[in-house]
Amino acid sequence: MSLRRRMGPAPRLQPMPSARPVHAGRLAGWERLAFALVFALMMAFVVVITISSARAHGQGGAGGSAGSPSSAARPRPRPAARPRAGAGAGSGSGSGGQTAGRAARAAWDHRLAVALAPVVQGRPGSLAVGVIDSSTGAAAVYGRRLRFQAASIVKPEILAALLLRARHAPAGLSNSDAGLAAQMIEASDRVAANRLWDLAGRAGGLAAADVILGLRHTTPGPGEKWGLTTTTVGDQLTLLTDLTTAKSPLSSAERAYELSLMRTVGPAQPWGVSAAAGPGGVSAIKNGWRLDGPARLWVVNSIGVVRRDGQRLLMAVLSRGQPTRAAGIAAADAAAVAAADCMTSGG
């Protein structure tokens, strides 16, 4: 008997039901919420990475590129400051031009110091000298950081302040004030200067005008003492530049008016910078002198515009600690001639 017959018929196999995938059908509510939250977090992460990358790209590089901040968000450049007197030739733009300008000024300052060596050697007191060739802009300064009492050379500054203030008056500078101005400049009259000092606003008015005129190192005298105004040779060159160039806060009429008074100073003032002028070359000057302190030493100053060897020179000579007025005048004469020779001969 066969084995199959002994065991009987084989049982019929029932098909097993197919397994249902775990993800079949709709997700439960909490599963959908979790999935949405994870997706949102992933998208936020992508956005943050994209923005950070764009900012880093926009800020890299000196010149900027696409994606850099717009020009409206950048700070506006400040307007260029008015060039200071004595900036010298070759100042140029950019770091190379500035370096060349500083080198040129240093060279001229050295030439002037060499030219003045015989003048200052053995002389008492302190001396500062400045000169600008107005045709080329070349400038030389000796004693740049020294401060001096102005004495009567503050009078052109007082008049400039008065002219600036008179612009706001209905009739401008009155005839009587113009008469006082002529007395103050031409005759160096103290009473006229006192009156115009008051009209200009004394120290406060002069300080306000100095800001407009660009005099950064001048301090007006206290109270009625306009002669105790302190200044530097560089600021006096700036004032002369204000009186002689179109790039000035003073109008052409105001400049011409003030220079006309400085061209007709009295006979007591033909010294100082005027000693450096060629024949007929004195254009405009103002001198000042005063006794200073208990030692009774003299302050002797001279500023002006002269012509020499075809060049127009703006010049300032300031001194203090002079034993006599005559000694101060002699020092001013010698210093002015040396400075003019230095500039007109090219050193």
Q: What average pLDDT values come out for the chain (347 residues) when binned by 10 residues? A: 46 45 52 65 61 48 34 35 49 66 91 97 96 94 97 98 90 91 96 97 98 98 97 98 97 97 85 92 93 94 95 97 97 97 80
List the one residue out of 206, 214, 205 whose CA is nearest residue 236. 214
**Structural tokens at position 10:** 């084989």
**Structural tokens at position 169:** 């008056």
| Contact assessment for residue 132 and residue 112, using Cβ atoms and an 8 Å cutoff | no
| Contact assessment for residue 285 and residue 333, using Cβ atoms and an 8 Å cutoff | no
pLDDT (0 to 100) of residue 110: 96
pLDDT (0 to 100) of residue 84: 52
List the one residue out of 313, 265, 202, 245 whose CA is nearest residue 210. 202
Looking only at the bridges linking them, the beta strands covering 297-308 and 148-149 are unpaired
Q: How many CB atoms lie within 10 A of CB 306?
A: 24
pLDDT (0 to 100) of residue 15: 45
Stated pTM of the model: 0.73
Q: Provide the 8-state DSSP code for 316.
A: E
Please tell me the distance from the alpha carbon of residue 10 to that of residue 311, in angstroms, as a whole number: 135
pLDDT (0 to 100) of residue 253: 96
Please tell me the distance from the alpha carbon of residue 347 to that of residue 338, in angstroms, as a whole number: 10
| Contact assessment for residue 313 and residue 139, using Cβ atoms and an 8 Å cutoff | no
Q: Is 139 helix (H, G, I), strand (E, B) or coil?
A: strand
Please tell me the distance from the alpha carbon of residue 153 to that of residue 233, in angstroms, as a whole number: 11
Please tell me the distance from the alpha carbon of residue 123 to that of residue 103, in angstroms, as a whole number: 30
